[in-house]
Structure 1
Amino acid sequence: MTDSTKVPPHVRMALIALIVGGIAAILDSTMVTLAIRTLAVKLHSTAGTIQWVTTGFLLAMAVAIPITGWAERRWGGKRVWTAALTLFVLASVLCAAAWNDTALIGFRALQGFGAGLIFPLMQTLAVRAAGGRISSRLMAAVSLPIALGPILGPVIGGVILNWLSWRWLFLINVPVIAVGLLLAWRYLPADRPVSPRGRPDWIGLVLLAPALSGILLGLSQLSEDGGLDHAGVLAPLLAGAALLAAFLVRAARPGEREPVVDVRLLRVRSLGSASAVLFTAGAAMYAGMFLLPLYYQQLRGDSVLDAGLLMIPQGVGALAARFGVGPLADRFGARAVTIAGFLLAAIATVPFALAGPGTSLWWLGAVLLARGVGVGAVLIPPMSVAYQDVRPEGIPHATMNTRIAQQVGASFGTAIVAVALQSLLDHGATGAFQGAFWCAIGITIAAVVPAIVLPAAGPAPQARSATPTHEPATGQAPEKAA
């Protein structure tokens, strides 16, 4: 790696501010999933009702993501980032003080809205802080919380639930966000609003936000309601698909008002291919993350704490990948490294598809370490090349495209393996988990297909202007050859 790809000190401090600020939101979204059973008991609720603690969070995120680009242009990225962290930590305190399941669900939705602003802004502000210089090392840094959150969340959640009250799942966010706000104030570069009087495309927002919510709601209900033929699944899926189609038709037409999300950017090869890969990466990563804690708890009978601790090798593998994948992508190209990562993750999941209640934990820990390396390696290369042919003014829209793709992909992958697990339970728990893991392996192998069309070479660091222009955010540039 050449010196030109090293992250300057001021950019490094900005990245630390973003990582510290965003890690709480990412960890929280995974810790609470582990606590569903505990929350149902403590709040005297049912599993079906308390599941909305997770579902409401995801739906609120879907509503917030399309607003992020407009808000960043309207008030400036640093202000919106600070506001999003403040909203998230206030919602966390309210969640910790919830007196019943209804209150907790409502406060979690508010928390999800804050998280929906935080996740896309992390990438946008990282690129802004680097002055538009996009490198594998930069993307490795900014994607670290996104990759480690689903892996470390169950571990931290298990520790909290074993020794502390469930309310600490939310209160733990307070000191972390406080440090994140202080670092953001000190190290994030100040930016001026690009469109201080700009108004969002309200029609586009009214179409896109419920479209994403409907699709995510339908996918989340897929396993519980017994398949696609159930009204609770089919109605939101069809409504969401219809609204999304209407949004795409509207967004494809050039107009004077800036679109909520500029989907025309997907015609740019680097962003279009990277978004497709991030969709499949989200599906592959979250499919495994849904099954693994359940395997340890339900099939092997491990406690919540033990299940969380047994996931540590995967976190170690993902962390190790962060130190090596950047140089590998620079040397061998984004396409080769991404394909290798998917194949490694698929191979390392095979032992779980053959495992039973008595399979050696040492063996499973070893393959989890390898799976963590594979999963950790598939996010950085596509994120690095996504902005390769996108102009500076298109960066917020490019970020929203990739974030939406990854979010929907995660819900899709989770829904597929959840349905497989539920439908195979008649054949016994061991057979059901083995079949579900084979589905997860199939999803991971299928993810290789869009990775084939990624640009072969990683991005050369680009010295672009960090200040967007007032031009429409089409952001297109001539496509580069592979």
Structure 2
Amino acid sequence: MTQQSVAAPQPVPTSDKLDAAVLKVAGVVVLGAIMSILDVTVVSVALPTFQSEFDASYARVAWTMTGYTLALATVIPLSGWAADRFGTKRLYMIALALFTIGSGLCATADTIGELIGYRVLQGLGGGMLMPIGMTIMTRAAGPNRIGRLMAVLGIPMLLGPIGGPILGGWLIDVASWQWIFLINLPIGAIALVYAQLALPKDSPEPSESFDWLGMLMLSPGLALFLYGVSTLPEAGTFADPEVWGPMLVGAALVVAFVLYSFKPQHPLLDLPLFRNRNLTIAAVTLFVFIIAFMGAGLLFPSYFLQVRGESTLHAGLLMAPQGLGAMVTMPIAGMLADKVPVGRTVPFALLLILAGFFTFTQVDPNTSYVLLCGSLFVMGLGMGGTMMPIMTSALKTLTGHEVARGSTLVNILQQIGGSVGAAAMSVILTNELNGSRVIPGVTDPNGEPVTEAGLAIAAQQRPELAQQVPDPSLIERGLDYAASSFGTTFWVALALVLLTFVPAALLPRRRERSHLLDDQPGDPGERPRTPVVVH
């Protein structure tokens, strides 16, 4: 899908510094991104609370995050065209309003089904905040400052892992779970006013025809495939029709879209871009990395909550070192990405992630918090030096009009990778925990048998249960087994990080000229239009 500029072409900035005008616009984008990313990390520590509040299984309440992801994946292909058609300022404010309204509705949910539905609405808005925000920032900063631009947009990714779990845990402990959504209302109102005042006025131009047929195949296909994958933890097996049915139909729609997309003049996705070696390698590297890192990343708070019996606030505080580590390296990596080939830096960042993961493969019920927090900090250092540099490398090898389409392809793969990783790690952990010894004659309120690990986890979250257990060794053995189950799951994640070294070894190791400033077809000497980037 070829994108056209909304605003008239502007002179490309020659300075590599982000000036005051750019930072003013960046404030709007960062504020919106913080809202959407914070909300993901806040909800991650609230899942055990949702289990008790709505009397639902972990796999069921996990849909509060999965539904958000599905909505996000659905709007990704639409964002670039909509930015051209309606204007970035107007679309960004609509996304802010949808996200804020969805947040308010989430706080009113009486059932887990209602909460999941409202999270989908919230995701439709939140899913457009980053893509459209990236578009706005690229136009303001100019493509010759992509590395520094990525570093600025990395701020929400730093604050999310640090502030989200802490804020969510604190709000749940001192108030109620509703406040993790209500807090978005004043922030959303401020962001809307700020956007109205700070963003430049839209000048939408007629865009190319939209590929509705492609959209009707790709978006439902992605949604159905991810639905099947995300149902796997609850079903526990691929043999369940609720797993393989949606996956099969979704995969068929995606394959049909791939075959179809080579026919229209302006397809929804420009798949031939994968002939670009750097783009393909970056996409594959990020895909494998995200399966490992994002999938296992959701389990870190669960270990602190379920095995160590920490409160949601303490679990959030224990996760903070990871964000602090990323805070150290992400700005540096953003600047280096403009000067040093990522093939020379990313492998070292992956080594740091590998070292941090290894500690978690060895966890037990009494592993030192100093060691765990230090490992999270090291992993954060690696994360900050991985994702943004790879994306920067991919963008630099594309010409101006290709950036939006290439970035869209990579981001769809990222969403699929995140969902696959979360589902895979949840299935492995659940199956490991279910292998614990069943306690004879003991059943839960639903009549299901209770395992030693299940009893130990329940006792950690509800201390009064521990006093009712006649044999304390049951809880001790259960905690040992639960910790071992987490360790086994982290071994799988570590193996996937090792696998990431294969495509990472193919990343460019020589500095290449950026094509972002290449002249586009048209009048001689015409400056390229600033690209629409979907991120």
Q: 1:57 touches 1:109 (CA, 8 Å); kept in 2? A: yes
Q: Percent identity?
A: 36
Q: In 2, Cα distance between the equivalents of 1:411 and 1:459?
A: 33
Q: Does 2:154 match 1:143? A: yes
Q: In 2, Cα distance between the equivalents of 1:295 and 1:46?
A: 17
* CA deviation map 1:273-314 (0-9, x unaligned): 222222223223212311211111112221221111101111
Structure 1: segments with no counterpart, 5+ residues: 476-482
Q: 1:124 touches 1:395 (CA, 8 Å); kept in 2? A: no
Q: Does 2:445 match 1:434? A: no
Q: In structure 2, do the counterparts of structure 1 residues 374 and 38 end up closer, same or farther at CA, with 3 Å as the change threshold? A: same
Partner residue of 1:478?
none
Q: In structure 2, do the counterparts of structure 1 residues 31 and 459 end up closer, same or farther at CA, with 3 Å as the change threshold? A: farther
Q: 1:271 touches 1:386 (CA, 8 Å); kept in 2? A: yes
Q: 1:352 touches 1:437 (CA, 8 Å); kept in 2? A: yes
Partner residue of 1:443?
496
1:166 to 161, 177, 195: 177
Partner residue of 1:209?
219
Q: 1:353 touches 1:438 (CA, 8 Å); kept in 2? A: yes
* CA deviation map 1:98-129 (0-9, x unaligned): 34333322221111111221232233322222
Q: 1:283 touches 1:414 (CA, 8 Å); kept in 2? A: yes
Q: 2:337 touches 2:392 (CA, 8 Å); kept in 1? A: no
- The alignment partner of 2:345 has SS state of helix
Q: In 2, Cα distance between the equivalents of 1:63 and 1:91?
A: 17
Q: Does 2:220 match 1:231? A: no
Q: CA RMSD in A?
A: 2.6
Q: In 2, Cα distance between the equivalents of 1:121 and 1:465?
A: 23
**How far apart are residue 424 of structure 1 and its match?**
2.0
Q: Which moved more, 1:454-463 or 1:292-301?
A: 454-463
Partner residue of 2:332?
324
Q: 2:354 touches 2:498 (CA, 8 Å); kept in 1? A: yes
* Larger Rg computed on CA atoms: 2
Q: 1:21 touches 1:181 (CA, 8 Å); kept in 2? A: no
**How far apart are residue 463 of structure 1 and its match?**
6.7
Q: 2:399 touches 2:516 (CA, 8 Å); kept in 1? A: no
Q: In 2, Cα distance between the equivalents of 1:465 and 1:15?
A: 25
**How far apart are residue 4 of structure 1 and its match?**
4.1
Q: 1:131 touches 1:463 (CA, 8 Å); kept in 2? A: no
Partner residue of 1:304?
312
Matched AA of 1:101: I
**How far apart are residue 469 of structure 1 and its match?**
8.4
Q: TM-score with structure 1 length normalisation?
A: 0.89
Partner residue of 1:408?
416
Partner residue of 1:29?
40
* CA deviation map 1:334-361 (0-9, x unaligned): 1222221112101111111112111111
Matched AA of 1:250: Y
| Correspondence 1:245-394 to 2 at 5 A | 245-253=255-263, 255-256=264-265, 258-394=266-402
Q: In 2, Cα distance between the equivalents of 1:403 and 1:287?
A: 16
Matched AA of 2:134: Q
**How far apart are residue 245 of structure 1 and its match?**
0.7
Q: Which moved more, 1:322-331 or 1:363-372?
A: 322-331
Q: 2:158 touches 2:324 (CA, 8 Å); kept in 1? A: no
* CA deviation map 1:318-344 (0-9, x unaligned): 111123212443454212222211121
Structure 2: segments with no counterpart, 5+ residues: 1-13, 437-480, 529-535
Matched AA of 2:185: V
- The alignment partner of 1:444 has SS state of helix
Q: In structure 2, do the counterparts of structure 1 residues 206 and 187 end up closer, same or farther at CA, with 3 Å as the change threshold? A: same
Q: TM-score with structure 2 length normalisation?
A: 0.81
Q: In 2, Cα distance between the equivalents of 1:135 and 1:169?
A: 33
Q: In 2, Cα distance between the equivalents of 1:320 and 1:239?
A: 44
Q: In 2, Cα distance between the equivalents of 1:126 and 1:252?
A: 31
1:176 to 175, 183, 187: 187
**How far apart are residue 266 of structure 1 and its match?**
2.4
Q: In 2, Cα distance between the equivalents of 1:107 and 1:273?
A: 36
Q: 2:161 touches 2:320 (CA, 8 Å); kept in 1? A: no
**How far apart are residue 467 of structure 1 and its match?**
11
Q: In structure 2, do the counterparts of structure 1 residues 73 and 246 end up closer, same or farther at CA, with 3 Å as the change threshold? A: same
